């Protein structure tokens, strides 16, 4: 059933989206969540509606599915979610254009991985980027350096939708005359489904004989096609598979997997937890698994689901509260209506979740992560994969003072010669305004105690334990 378009409260939103060129599917999908908000739904998923997951099948034991996975590669497409700008790191272009290893960006590595896979298996596995209107042009310009990447009959990208933000006072469209773009936002990764449909990409993939899609974030360096996981999906008849990993103390505030009371898989994000339940929400011994956002889809089943729901999948609504100007906490409060990619698990009749190792989840969300993957704690394989050095079992824990290292520009200034050696580092904490000279080596658990005045760590310094750098 399509959402009601006749409600006078939704007409201003419809007119905005129609003027922007949004498809009917995109508008109806947004209206579903807007009507829920207008009807007083909070987007909360209380504890009594769900139960924890006790255990999951372990993907490390999927070797027997490898043969089936190899045979299914010819029917599989790789989709990368590439709409993010990395604004929290001070970036203004596609985050995937950030250099992560030498001169290689995320997109370079993604392209190299796909091309290497094709050479190895002799099959042209397609790559598709789901771009936003802010990332499309720059991303395709970079991929022009890989003329063999395009697969005949398919584009390299399609655009995700954008939707109006809602003013919290009055529930009307948000607007900033000084920057009209602030009135719009991406509707979350759950927008993939309607974007695949409205762009015509889903139909094209099915027409070309593709049955499976592996979906992951462009900034997750650990996400790559895996024969065992693909074979597990093909052999067991699963139509939707979520890769889940063990929650650690670092994941307490992130979303987790759970079961609805009828046994269906579900995701619960932090914005969906009632305030009085946040303590249990963050208990990693109760809710043991988080969603890596690596998702495997059976495309014919997705197409059937979309047909059955008139193109509008009834995903759980996430009510995300922000300010109109993210840099100004005093600007008007707004609501972003979002959905999660993995939330569709509850709609697929044969959905599954599997436990994967942490190596399949290596996102770069902060400059802490960026320093790690640029360092010698990781190695770059000939096929474009960034993997932990063979001497390590887990990455170093890095905490850089956000006052001086949060933004990429400031971060680069303080590592003018590249990262220090971290291959023997367990943890590194940097306090204060510190600049690293060339050839610095960090070992074990290290704390660099600087200050508000600029300090420098000299060339060739070995840091172990607490270190006090000298003033510049």
Give dist(CA 31, CA 375) in Å, integer. 46
Q: Are 79 and 299 in contact (CB under 8 A)?
A: no
Q: Are 305 and 297 in contact (CB under 8 A)?
A: no
Which residue's structure tokens are 């939330």?
A: 343
The closest alpha carbon to 441, from 396, 385, 386, belongs to: 396
DSSP state of 247: -
Cβ-proximal residues to 283 (8 Å cutoff; 6+ apart), any chain: 252
The closest alpha carbon to 79, from 177, 154, 178, belongs to: 154
Which residue's structure tokens are 């060129």?
A: 21
What does the buried/exposed string (b/e) look like for 114-141 if buried means 16 or more CB atoms within 10 Å of the residue's CB?
bbbbbeeeeebbbbbbbbbebbbeebee
Q: Are 211 and 75 in contact (CB under 8 A)?
A: yes
Active site residue 365: yes
- In order, the DSSP letters of 10-60 are THHHHHHHHHTT--HHHHHHHHHHHHHHHTT------GGGEE------BGG
Give dist(CA 459, CA 472) in Å, integer. 13
SS3 at position 410: helix
Catalytic residue among 2, 93, 322, 365: 365
SS3 at position 467: strand
Give dist(CA 298, CA 309) in Å, integer. 17
Q: Structure tokens of 67?
A: 């043969």
∠ CA 117-120-122, rounded to 5°: 95
How far, in Å, are 193, 253, 275, 276, 287 from residue 279 at the CA level?
A: 33, 10, 9, 7, 11
How many H-runs (helices) and E-runs (strands) does the chain carry? 13, 26
Q: Are 321 and 44 in contact (CB under 8 A)?
A: no
Catalytic positions, written as ranges: 365
């Amino acid at each position: 059933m399509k959402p009601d378009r006749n409600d006078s409260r939704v007409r201003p939103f419809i007119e905005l989206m129609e003027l922007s060129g949004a498809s009917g599917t995109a508008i109806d999908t947004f209206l579903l969540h807007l009507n829920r908000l207008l009807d007083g739904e909070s987007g909360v998923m209380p504890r009594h509606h769900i139960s924890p997951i006790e255990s999951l099948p372990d993907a490390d034991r999927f070797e027997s599915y490898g043969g089936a996975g190899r045979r299914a590669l010819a029917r599989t497409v790789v989709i990368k979610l590439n709409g993010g700008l990395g604004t929290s790191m001070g970036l203004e272009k596609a985050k995937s254009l950030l250099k992560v290893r030498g001169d290689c960006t995320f997109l370079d590595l993604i392209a190299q991985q796909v091309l290497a896979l094709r050479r190895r298996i002799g099959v042209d596995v397609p790559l598709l980027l789901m771009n936003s209107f802010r990332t499309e042009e720059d991303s395709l310009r970079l991929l022009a350096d890989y003329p063999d990447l395009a697969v005949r009959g398919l584009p390299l990208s399609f655009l995700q939708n954008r939707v109006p933000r809602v003013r919290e006072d009055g529930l009307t469209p948000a607007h900033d005359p000084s920057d009209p773009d602030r009135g719009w936002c991406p509707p979350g990764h759950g927008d993939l489904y309607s974007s695949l449909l409205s762009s015509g990409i889903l139909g094209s993939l099915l027409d070309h004989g593709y049955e499976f899609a592996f979906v992951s974030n462009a900034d997750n360096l650990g996400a790559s096609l895996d024969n065992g996981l693909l074979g597990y999906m093909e052999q067991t008849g699963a139509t939707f598979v979520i890769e889940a990993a063990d929650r650690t103390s670092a994941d307490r505030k992130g979303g987790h997997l759970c079961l609805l009371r009828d046994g269906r898989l579900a995701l619960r994000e932090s914005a969906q937890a009632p305030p009085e339940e946040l303590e249990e929400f963050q208990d990693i011994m109760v809710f043991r698994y988080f969603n890596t956002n690596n998702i495997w889809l059976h495309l014919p089943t997705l197409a059937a689901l979309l047909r059955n729901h008139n193109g509008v999948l009834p995903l759980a609504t996430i009510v995300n509260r922000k300010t109109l100007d993210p840099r100004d906490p005093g600007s008007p409060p707004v609501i972003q209506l979002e959905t999660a990619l993995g939330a569709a698990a509850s709609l697929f009749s044969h959905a599954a979740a599997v436990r994967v190792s942490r190596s399949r989840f290596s996102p770069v969300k902060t400059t802490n992560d960026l320093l790690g993957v640029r360092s010698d704690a990781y190695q770059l394989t000939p096929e474009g994969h960034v993997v932990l050095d063979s001497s390590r079992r887990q990455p170093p824990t890095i905490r850089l003072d956000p006052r001086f290292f949060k933004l990429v520009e400031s971060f680069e200034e303080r590592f003018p010669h590249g990262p220090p050696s971290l291959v023997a580092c367990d943890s590194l904490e940097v306090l204060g305004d510190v600049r690293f000279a060339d050839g610095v080596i960090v070992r074990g658990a290290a704390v660099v105690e600087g200050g508000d005045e600029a300090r420098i760590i000299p060339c060739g310094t070995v840091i172990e334990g607490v270190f006090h750098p000298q003033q510049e």
